[in-house]
A and B are shown apart, each in its own frame.
Chain A
Amino acid sequence: MSMEKIKTIVSHWQVALMLILVVLAAIAIAPRFEDGKFTTNLQYGLDLQEGTWLQMEFKAVVAGFETDKDPGDFAKAIQNQTDAEVYVLDKNKIEIRKYIPREDLETVFNTAGGRLTSYEQGVSKQTAEDVKRILENKLNALGTKDARVNPLVGLSGVSHYIRVELAGVSMAQAKEIVGRQGKFEIRIHTTGNETENVLYGDSITTVGVPSHDSPGSPVWGVSFTLNQDGAEKLQKAAIRTGAVSKPDAHYLDMLLDGKVVYSAPLSPDLAAKLAQEPIRQLYASTGTGDAGLRDAKNLEIHLRAGALPVDVVVAGSGFVPAELSDYFKLMCVVAFIAAAIAVGIVIFLRYREPAIVLPMMATNLTEIVILLGIATFIQQLDLASIAALIAVLGTGVDQLVIITDEILHEGKVPSPTLYTKRLSRALGIILVSAATVIIAMVPLALMDLSSLRGFAIITMIGVIIGVAVTRPAYGEIIKEILSK
């Protein structure tokens, strides 16, 4: 092919766009040798990388209610009856952080003077995010380098499951990490920098969510309650050290695993009360504004000592050993190459014309490279998404065949006007079929069927790249190559 021809081909913006994208994709994938090993920026999911996945179910309920009472009072009544933490989500939904079967909950609601209107196992999106943050903190603290925590939020906004993926960790280790709790301690300053133990985390009975210290106040903080024993220990320590009379000289430190996570004096008000009696209901303020809220959220996690606000049970789990994941990776490459060769042979048998077959295969592979380039940013590859990739290879060629056959009606390249008409007709067919594929994949991409999300997303991106970039480009290329 002459330079002239290549120039004409590239001057079409569709072709230029495709080439720019493929270069960008190659940069994104960044294939290179590091320490003598071939690496890329592609992210692998657990089938193709050693590690463990745990899918955990929240033992909690989000229930809709109807009542004539004040929602807050109603929630309190439910809390008292069920002995569970209860939060009002909005004016007719509450979250009960304990699993209670629907029938039992209906009775509870009736007794409390209301009616159950909806029932769903799980937690609110907000709570699910809290759990995610707590788990991530724990995993980071342990230096687990490649951990992914994803709450699976259903269409109703309730999260029933949370999925944790830990690369390079065995299943037993993973379960231990997730279940492990830290050691929480409160110490009081005696003289100078000396401190002594007041109580441990087992004295804390409940921990609230970040809140303002009083309605309308700009100050954020976290309330928590101590059991009777803890409250007495705190009172004794405060009196013994003299903190009740001189709070500022005797700060209280909160430590998690031996590290100070919070330090503040008793408030004058609390100091005065403690001189009289043990106090069980406490509030730790963290400051105002966004910084105060952020600190309050962290403090909440620390107070819970890494325990989750909601009980979870493992609903599903899996482990892939390193040897097998490397083997799967190799097999995927083999399957992909085999599929590409097979497709090439069929196309060649059909057209017997390198001038058609080569651009067709080149366009198709370009599409895959662009797809992989985009995938480096948004999608980890697992076995199911590799299957989708190979399927995209198949459909991609399909549609290039449609274009070729539409344009080359009776084996000749038509005049420019007829060409445009035919190309747009071919693209019309492609557009409708692309729309159906995308529609068919949307539910999988949105739903909790976690391991299939990758499959759906890869298929959808593949179809979109095809329709928007590579197929129009192919239309131009084939026209230029075939017109003499």
Chain B
Amino acid sequence: MGFVGYNVNRYTPRQMMVVPAVILLLSLALLGFNMASFGMPVRPGIDFSGGTAVTLFTPDSAEQIRASFSAYPLLSVGEGVNNGKYLKFGPMDDASLQALATDIGGRYPDAKIDQIGASFGETLQQQALIALIISFVGMTIVVFIAFRSFVPAGAVVLSAFADIAMTAAGMSLVGIELSLATVAGLLMLIGYSVDSDILLTMRVLKRQGKLEEKLAGAFRTGIIMTTTTIVAVAAMWVVALVGQITVVWEIATVLLIGLFVDMMNTWLTNAGIIKWYVQKRGGK
């Protein structure tokens, strides 16, 4: 628990917010750059761009696999422990697809195959975007109803937004593609990120006592909360990595990045704003 050494009361609101603000700008720049190159803020995986994913266990090397499937648009061969391989193919027509399925069935009868057509992928893309927007707007409404006060509610919404933007940028840095699973992870973050923000805001605004004490108390509780979630997700991450469960591993990675980013956004961005807000109101 390395963050425990951090003293939430040591810095001024301005100092607290500088770091996250810079990171947020960099993240948005990266997402914008991706948008220009792929048409999406994070490189889309086969769920959205169409294609075929194959999970199999074989001692064959990546080169051997590449050679075996040279007739098909093989994009990448991911290798895990336990001889796990994760093959990605680009979009192809029905006949090649059928041939590929037969081919894989013949060579590796225990392979898991998932295929998404290009137009289906496009529908999924639109739907995922709509889901993300509705979730975010819904969260904003709930937060505003709960606090009925502009600055505190705005701070919570801003840090949730920063969480998502920074996590998406983080995904892009570690090379995780946008898929149905990772969109689910991002949506989950909307829920997670407000957890500690709400605790912080409620404690500071609705409790009696000194601002410093309330901040410190909220920090103590909040950090343990995020830590428990992080260890649960980290355990899932390790098992999924070793066990080659791509879907779970992707969700876990997104959640892990998001939770660390959320620690920063809660205890720097949101805490900074709320501190500034209370001090400005002549807070005690």
Contacts and interface: CB of A to CB of B under 8 A. Distances in A.
A448 B232 contact: no
Contacts of B224: 346, 350, 401, 405
A371 to B, nearest CB: 15
A436 B191 contact: yes
Interface string A380-393: 00011011101101
- Range class of the A interface residue count: 35 or more
Contacts of A395: 191-192, 195, 229
Q: Which of A335, A388, A428, A451 is packed against the most chain B CB atoms within 10 Å?
A: A335
Given A315-B120, A443-B131, A436 B235 contact: no
Size class of the contact patch on chain B: 35 or more
Given A161-B120, A391-B255, A433-B191, A339 B245 contact: no
A343 B231 contact: yes
A402 B218 CA distance: 9
Interface stretch (B15-23, B28-36, B69-77, B136-144): B136-144
Given A346-B227, A402-B221, A449-B124, A440 B138 contact: yes
Interface string A301-329: 00000000000001111111101100110
B176 interface: no
Contact of B234 (A342, A398, A451): A342
B110 interface: yes
B247 interface: yes
A25 interface: no
Contacts of A390: 232-233, 235-236
A6 interface: no
B143 to A, nearest CB: 7
A232 B235 CA distance: 73
Interface stretch (B59-67, B182-190, B273-281): B182-190
Interface centre among A170, A328, A341, A432 (most CB of B within 10 A): A432
A394 B236 CA distance: 11
Contact of B235 (A342, A439, A456): A342
A27 interface: no
Question: Which of B227, B232, B247, B248 has the most chain A CB atoms inside 10 A of its CB?
Answer: B232
B173 interface: no
Given A317-B115, A335-B236, A440-B135, A433 B243 contact: no
A383 B245 contact: yes
Given A57-B119, A171-B113, A324-B55, A452 B184 contact: yes
B109 A449 contact: no
A335 B180 contact: no
Nearest to B190: A440
B68 interface: no
A405 B221 contact: yes
B252 A448 contact: no
Given A315-B119, A319-B112, A455-B184, A401 B221 contact: yes
Interface of B: 1, 55, 57, 94, 101-102, 105, 109-117, 119-120, 123-124, 127-128, 130-131, 134-136, 138-139, 141-143, 146, 180-181, 183-184, 187-188, 190-192, 194-195, 198-199, 202, 206, 217, 220-221, 224-236, 238-240, 243, 245, 247-248, 251-252, 255
Given A321-B109, A387-B252, 10 more contacts: A57-B119, A170-B105, A315-B117, A335-B245, A341-B235, A343-B228, A401-B225, A402-B221, A405-B224, A435-B142
Interface of A: 47, 55, 57, 160-161, 170-172, 314-321, 323-324, 327-328, 331-332, 334-335, 338-343, 345-347, 349-350, 383-384, 386-388, 390-391, 393-395, 397-399, 401-402, 405, 425, 428-429, 432-433, 435-437, 439-444, 447-449, 451-452, 455-456, 459
